[in-house]
Structure 1
Amino acid sequence: MTRPKRSDELASAIADLIIERNLQPGDPLPTENVLMADFQVSRNSVRESLKALQAHGIVEIRHGYGTFVGSASSAALHPWLLFRTRASGSSVERLSELLEIREILETELTRRVAGGDSVELRQKLSGCVDRMRVEGEDAATADRQFHEHICNAAGVPLARELVGLFWDVYRAVETDVETLSPSPEETAARHQRVVDAIGSGDAEQAEQAVHAHFSEVRDRLGTGPYRSPRGP
């Protein structure tokens, strides 16, 4: 086994080892002594690399028990994305970027679910819309879950994690800028149009409903129109 030259290379080598051995979340990693011998590096190098991997959720260090494969959830990206959104230029511009990425993802996902058996999905979405009509923290939770249900129904778990991550960061940074808060009924109405479009079975109608939903959010933010990847 080739000796890694730097701590970041060692971290990558340990991550590769996890993949090569098909280790699953919760599985134990080789001990520090074994990693030192396999990669011909010092204990400090191993510990530094494991801490770097832990920061990304790739490993979990349990003091007194050992090191285990982590869940590597998108939550590990939250501090980075939150910092980048707040530190890189105008918060409004960065929020606009988050919205655009979400819109690109959710437009395609909603098109997919509109063409399938949507009865169970529409029941879940309608339940979320009902909760949005009651002002309070649960309304925000229902909003987040609404979009997660669509990702789940489309069969793209990674998209669900990414959309949830973008949603959480947007909510956190939105407090830094002045926006007009919609009424619970307005929020519910925007989402209900998406539910109705999905129920129609028309992918084009579903796409337009998603664009209309995000357009109203951008209006509150005061940013420009959506730039479609399909062109004008």
Structure 2
Amino acid sequence: MFQREFALRLTAKPGDALFNRLSVNSQFWAKCTHIMKVGRNNFRPPPQVDSSVVRIEPKLGRDRPNISFEEFDGMLRFCFNRKNKTLRASWFTKEVLAIVEKNYRLYCAMNNIPVDDTVIEGGGDPDADDDDDGDDENMDLDDATRSKGPAAGEDGDGGMDVDDDDTPDFFREAAGAASANQPPPKTPSRRQKTKVGELVREKIRKVLEDVTELADKRASKCDENDFLKLLFAFNSEGIHFA
């Protein structure tokens, strides 16, 4: 018996509102079936949440895909980074591209594959974050922080409003004067675009668009077969996640 929302995540299917990485991973290892709801009024004293009973039947080896779970889960982290965005939008971000490139370099080093680090003239890293496909859904935050909104420093003004605190005016004025005498922060330099970086970017595009044709699909709509197909295609291109 679990808290109801957690139980519904364990048993959620593709397309359900609560379907996430936990759903895929739990169902990778076991068959999860929702048995019954247990209302809070069945307890004394009653808790603040409802519960659910779930049957969890571990899959035998022959019923489970013969793959590395660590690598499977590593790929799912990228897919569910923005579960309500398309997979194209989830993968073509600067952070994901940088991690995948690092993994690819490690794979090449371990297999004696030469890497072309030639810098491509004409500028830095392309704006990989131009991935807005018209969706307004938020990123798939961790369950513990989902209800708290954006964290401080992130888009959405999630930080504390300084004007609403109890800091005396004297200290505010002193802080303002000190910041006025400081030079403006430097804009971080853009990462140089290299041939190996472009190669990795093309490999991801090929996997999503040509091989699996899942680029325009959302992770929240994909089933286990879709994710297994993705992992096989990435591995075939020399891209690994563990």
TM over 0.5: no
Report the TM range for the smaller structure's normalisation. under 0.3
Structure having the higher helix fraction is 1
* Larger RCO (CA within 8 A; separation ≥ 6): 2
Q: Which has the larger radius of gyration?
A: 2
Structure having the higher strand fraction is 2
